Amino acid sequence: MATRAHTVPRFYLSGFTAQGPKAGHDPFVWLGSLATGMIERRSPKNISIARGYYDGNGGFEDSRRSIENHLATIESEAAFAIRRFVASPIGGGMSPSPEIWRFLSWQAARTPGWFKLVEEWMNDCEPGAVGATVEPPPVGFESIRDQPRSHLVENPNSGERRTVADLEELQAYWKLGWKWTPTTQDRLEMLHMQAWYFQVRHFPRLTWKRLDTPADDSFVTSDRAVAWLVDGYADTPPAALRHPTCGIFGLSRPSDIRLCRKG
């Protein structure tokens, strides 16, 4: 059976909980839908769930490894690191640890919205084509071993799908107007690569500001727990990540859902 996965980590969601009305009741979050306008109480364990979302190797050389288990390690280390960080005095000069940087990198790359964007970009360029990139590859990129495997393509006119054996055959179908339809393995490899880029290329350029809410106030987060903004424009294209005023927000603008934390 496919693994029950959180697209927004459960430990992160638990940071936005309110205590139950009676002692012993489970904590909950207020969950609001921008699509319907409805607001309801929900347990963090039942929010942002997708079956099999991270079930796959995701480009690891060792076929026994999986993205699901890799994320579990990242989240476990980040949970302890975040507790230490928020317990430190404001203005004390303590910077987020590498465990927090790593967690944010993966969280920025793992949302369904990001995957949708990647799929759109993927079908706008020829598979395997080499061209100018916005960012140079991270150190070690040139040492990645090629792992040939099949890909799925779809005829947008008829809906017919076929499995192609290699990149050369994929390019041939792409030139005929067929679209590359990402499989779980494709998606997880892209996730792994994008998180790597965030961690070693984009994040080292950023400075950090820690925000605590005043008493009786709230934080709002969403199913995109990490969002990029440039000069306040949420729809700025990703190429603008090079802009010196680009910022990353761990508490983002709402998209499909939002959660509020008191205090």
pTM listed for this prediction: 0.76
pLDDT of residue 143: 79
- Is the separation of the CB atoms in 61 and 182 below 8 Å? no
The structure tokens listed for 81 are 């690191």
Q: What is the pLDDT along the chain (263 residues), one digit of tens a residue?
A: 678 888 888 888 888 887 655 556 678 888 888 778 888 888 888 888 888 888 888 888 888 888 999 999 999 999 999 888 878 877 666 677 889 889 988 988 887 777 777 777 777 776 666 555 566 777 777 777 777 778 899 999 999 999 998 888 988 998 898 988 888 888 888 888 888 888 888 777 777 777 777 777 777 777 777 766 656 666 655 555 555 554 544 433 223 333 333 33
Please give the span between the terminal C-alpha atoms of the chain, in angstroms, as a whole number.
39
Closest CA to 96 of 81, 109, 76: 81
SS3 7: coil
**Region for 72 from its dihedrals, namely left if φ exceeds 0, alpha if ψ lies in -120 to 50, beta otherwise:** alpha
pLDDT of residue 260: 39
